[in-house]
């Protein structure tokens, strides 16, 4: 194998596939990047048996070949080389030789025949969506994915296609994030739960562009296809929350508020709520809604804080407590200037939604019981 490749292209490929490298494995081959050449293309592949990533780079291929090299060592060397052409070859001792200007490195390699093949996916259903739309949908939901491995189905996002609309939903038991968008082309209804880990990596690879990404699913696998990149992942099994039934329809109390003002208040209040003293304790932020006014407060051993916002209110007065992090995560993902926040009782979830009637997101946050 002998190739000449621009450093910039090589780095882009490495950055795209490196998250498919296994960090905890007894199989050294899974810690490597598979390098394969074909028709002036270099294909980089990583696979940790859960997520597999392929990326194709245009290169000057002098001699065909394939090998596996340790991903961390290879990527760090390439990253630190000068910004020019890099010469890569496999010598008679099966060492990967990397040359660039005055630099020369030789790395041990592994047998490419031992590298596991990525699953062949028999796609049952698929959609195409602009990369910027998908990127936005993942950004607006991924923060609500659960980290609790005892409920694996909630460690992923539900991708549900219904009536030509894509709904992406995440839930962790304390909050729910739901973002939707209409698809440009007709498609069948289907649903799949894609691991949050995979979606985080997909979002780093796709661009904020109008280029399309194709998402295909089989019984237990999903495939994301871009021009130069493919990402294969297992699907999560189990029954996802019936999220439509979990979201209250009406409200007892409603506020209409400038999103940025509310976010700024929560960020200041959270300085007291998450203070360094008694780190193990969770101090809720208290919301008191009166006619035309919202008071946000928090008291603990560090001190106390209070913020007041004058705004539009409907319905009953209410006192209710929340984890401020959950509120901030939702507010940071919203682009609208004004939002509605709907409340039921002081033990009912709060719903954040767009003021626009055709709003395409909903956030639901469960309250914390306040001590009498």
Q: How far apart are CA 337 and CA 261, in angstroms?
A: 9
- Same-domain pairing of 146 and 107: no
Q: Tell me 91's DSSP state.
A: -
- Note the pTM of the prediction, 2 decimals: 0.91
Q: How many domains does the chain have?
A: 3
- Same-domain pairing of 58 and 150: no
pLDDT band at 278 (very low <50, low <70, confident <90, very high): low
In a domain, 308, yes or no: yes
Choose the final residue of a domain: 198, 213, 244. 244
- Same-domain pairing of 276 and 339: yes
Choose the final residue of a domain: 114, 135, 157. 114
Question: What would you report as the CA-atom Rg of the chain, rounded to the nearest whole angstrom?
Answer: 25
3-state secondary structure of 11: helix
Count of C-beta atoms within a 10 Å radius of residue 128: 15
Question: What is the tens place of the pLDDT at every residue in 96-140?
Answer: 999 999 999 999 999 999 999 999 999 999 999 999 999 999 999
34 - beta bridge partners? 45, 68
- Same-domain pairing of 291 and 206: no
Write the secondary structure of 284-310 as one string of H (helix), E (strand) and C (coil): CEEEEEECCEEEEEEECCCCEEEEEEE
In a domain, 146, yes or no: yes
Sign of CA dihedral 183, 187, 191, 197: negative
In a domain, 107, yes or no: yes
- Same-domain pairing of 55 and 101: yes
- Same-domain pairing of 132 and 239: yes
The pLDDT assigned to 275 comes to 60
Whether the pLDDT of residue 20 is over 60: the answer is yes
- Same-domain pairing of 31 and 66: yes
Q: Tell me 179's DSSP state.
A: E
In a domain, 327, yes or no: yes
Q: Give the domain extent around 358.
A: 247-365
- Same-domain pairing of 105 and 16: yes
Residue with tokens 């596939």: 17
Start-end of H helices in 112-155 = 131-139
- Same-domain pairing of 256 and 349: yes
- Same-domain pairing of 266 and 178: no
- Same-domain pairing of 149 and 99: no
Selection from 23, 32, 85, 19 nearest residue 57 by Cα: 85
Whether the pLDDT of residue 276 is over 90: the answer is no
- Same-domain pairing of 270 and 231: no
- The domain that holds 42 is classified in CATH as 3.10.150.10
In a domain, 371, yes or no: no
337 - beta bridge partners? none
Residues contacting residue 281 through CB under 8 Å, at least 6 positions apart:
300
Quick one: how many helices (H) and strands (E) in the chain?
Answer: 7, 26
Choose the final residue of a domain: 244, 273, 293. 244
Overall average pLDDT of the 176-205 stretch:
95
């Amino acid at each position: 194998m002998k190739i000449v490749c621009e450093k910039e292209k090589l780095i882009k490929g490495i950055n795209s596939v490196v998250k498919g490298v296994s960090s905890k494995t007894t199989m050294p081959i899974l810690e490597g990047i598979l390098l394969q050449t074909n028709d002036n293309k270099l294909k980089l592949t990583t696979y940790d048996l859960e997520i597999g990533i392929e990326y194709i780079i245009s290169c000057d291929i002098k001699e065909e070949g394939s090998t596996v090299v340790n991903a961390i060592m290879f990527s760090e060397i390439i990253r630190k080389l000068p910004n020019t052409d890099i010469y890569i070859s496999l010598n008679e001792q099966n060492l990967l030789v990397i040359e660039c200007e005055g630099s020369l490195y030789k790395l041990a390699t592994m047998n490419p025949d031992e590298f596991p093949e990525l699953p062949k996916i028999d796609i049952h259903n698929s959609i195409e969506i602009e990369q910027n739309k998908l990127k936005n949908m993942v950004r607006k939901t991924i923060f609500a994915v659960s980290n609790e491995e005892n409920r694996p189905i909630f460690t992923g996002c539900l991708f549900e296609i219904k009536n030509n609309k894509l709904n992406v939903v995440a839930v962790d038991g304390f909050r729910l994030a739901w973002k939707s968008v209409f698809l440009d082309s007709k498609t069948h209804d289907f649903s799949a739960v894609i691991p949050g880990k995979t979606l985080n990596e997909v979002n780093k690879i796709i661009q904020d562009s109008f280029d399309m990404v194709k998402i295909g699913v089989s019984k237990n696998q999903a495939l994301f296809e871009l021009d130069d990149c493919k990402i294969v992942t297992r699907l999560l099994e189990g029954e996802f929350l019936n999220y439509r039934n979990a979201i209250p329809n009406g409200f007892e109390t409603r506020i209409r508020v400038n999103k940025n003002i509310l976010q700024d208040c929560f960020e200041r209040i959270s300085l007291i709520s998450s203070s360094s003293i008694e780190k193990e304790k969770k101090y809720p932020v208290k919301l008191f809604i009166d006619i035309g006014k919202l008071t946000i407060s928090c008291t603990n051993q560090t001190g106390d804080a209070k913020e007041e916002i004058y705004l539009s209110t409907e319905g009953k007065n209410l006192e209710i407590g929340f984890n401020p992090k959950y509120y901030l995560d939702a507010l940071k993902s919203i682009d609208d200037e004004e939002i509605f926040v709907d409340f039921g009782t002081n033990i009912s979830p709060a719903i954040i939604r767009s003021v626009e009637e055709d709003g395409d997101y909903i956030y639901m946050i469960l309250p914390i019981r306040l001590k009498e």
